[in-house]
Structure 1
């Protein structure tokens, strides 16, 4: 067997192992959903709606946009036990970026807010970034948004009825990226087998819910500080709502 072939096999094995570790390790994401007629930022996985308020200091950016993609002053604030979007003017789209920091999984199976430099025998160490975009229009042509290093962009309009196909393109730092894991229904089926983006960064699937949809993209990128972490995990969500019939 040629050395190049052996090297390629080991690279693929390493990548798959990294993906498996990362998907299990950093399953939590941020996304947007309605709570008591207010748009809230959720932190969690599946049906687990965890404490987003205490994680507000980790937010790097919050941006709101009107229907013409003009910025609208927007913040996310504590509102009792939930974190809600606050803006004096109407917003169509909201986007947020969270730097969740460096975490390492010890041999005991527990996660510690430490790097490999502090926990050298860690099973895996990673730096986690979480991105969330709420899209209030199913027909909007979505541009690349500020701060969204990993972004899920609809290709064409999103159908207004579930079980209809839709295509999305995943962009990383402004370029389409292949090999990204896609979960089409993060809230109701977080353990689903992921789809993988094609060479042009696209993926097509049937819209799952006649209501809230939270699509997730997971990209495990190279480390920029090998002494502290093995890789960087970027986890992005796109949330949107299909309307129900009039009451």
Structure 2
């Protein structure tokens, strides 16, 4: 009996500590030669239009990382991005609300104040950075990106090249962020944790669109409502294919 109690306690600890399987994210991708804002994971390109009210900010930067005006517009079921000029970077933040669950059950959009017996309650925030033009200098910590993935060097020309990234939390390298190389085509890949310097190295996966994803559980700022804040950040860039 004591052994069973220990197993039950261990299971409860795992349920509390484990992150939700397959954290959704936001990223930017081309749709019909225009740039769209996507919400989803893997092949799941979910309804971004209904999530527009959750978008806290969208922005763009030129080659000197000076702000460029950018806005979102709906085009049928797709959310497009319009910028005053060709941007080097696009960025966005989406506040995805507070979610809770009991044990290993499904998450419900409630806080601990509404579900006091929840085994986990968390606020979820999604961030996105997309490289849209040549980089003449390293990408800095951007003001709206509490969690941010930046390349530690120049982007390679071909897939399979080892690439080092730095994950920043509040502008500083953070240890323990969980990173995968391609949340669109390999969303269930084994996560690699950043080291003490915030760095992680992995091969570039695609000769085309790459969407790197990092997840980091930060401290709560409202313990009565949620236990932690789950920050999910993406970095998107595209490698050119061979001339046709």
Q: TM-score, normalised by structure 1?
A: 0.89
- CA gap of 1:165–1:107, structure 2 versus 1, over 3 A, is closer
Q: Give the corresponding residue for 2:173.
A: 176
Q: Give the corresponding residue for 2:95.
A: 99
Whether the 8 Å contact between 2:88 and 2:134 is mirrored in structure 1 is no
Q: Give the corresponding residue for 2:6.
A: none
Q: Give the corresponding residue for 1:72.
A: 68
Whether the 8 Å contact between 1:130 and 1:235 is mirrored in structure 2 is yes
Secondary structure of 1:143 counterpart:
coil
Q: Give the corresponding residue for 2:156.
A: 159
Cα distance in 2, alignment partners of residues 88 and 200 from structure 1: 36
Cα distance in 1, alignment partners of residues 238 and 111 from structure 2: 38
Shift of 1:17: 5.4
- CA gap of 1:138–1:47, structure 2 versus 1, over 3 A, is farther
Whether the 8 Å contact between 2:100 and 2:112 is mirrored in structure 1 is yes
Shift of 1:18: 4.8
Cα distance in 2, alignment partners of residues 55 and 149 from structure 1: 20
Secondary structure of 1:157 counterpart:
coil
Task: Tell me the C-alpha RMSD between the 2 structures.
Answer: 1.9
Secondary structure of 1:53 counterpart:
coil
Whether the 8 Å contact between 1:126 and 1:230 is mirrored in structure 2 is yes
Secondary structure of 1:112 counterpart:
coil
Indicate which of 211, 215, 221 corresponds to 2:212: 215
Shift of 1:165: 0.8
After superposition, give the CA deviation of every residue in 1:137-196 in whole Å (9 maximum; x if it has no partner): 464421111210000011110101100011110110011101110011101111111011
Whether the 8 Å contact between 2:63 and 2:134 is mirrored in structure 1 is no
Whether the 8 Å contact between 1:138 and 1:240 is mirrored in structure 2 is no
**Structure-to-structure mapping, 1:1-247, within 5 angstroms:** 18=16, 20=18, 22-24=19-21, 27-106=23-102, 109-137=105-133, 139-140=135-136, 141-247=138-244
Shift of 1:107: 5.3
Q: Which runs of 5+ in 1 are unaligned?
A: 1-9
Whether the 8 Å contact between 1:74 and 1:87 is mirrored in structure 2 is yes
Whether the 8 Å contact between 2:15 and 2:104 is mirrored in structure 1 is no
Q: Give the corresponding residue for 1:3.
A: none
Moved over 3 A (4+): 16-19, 137-140
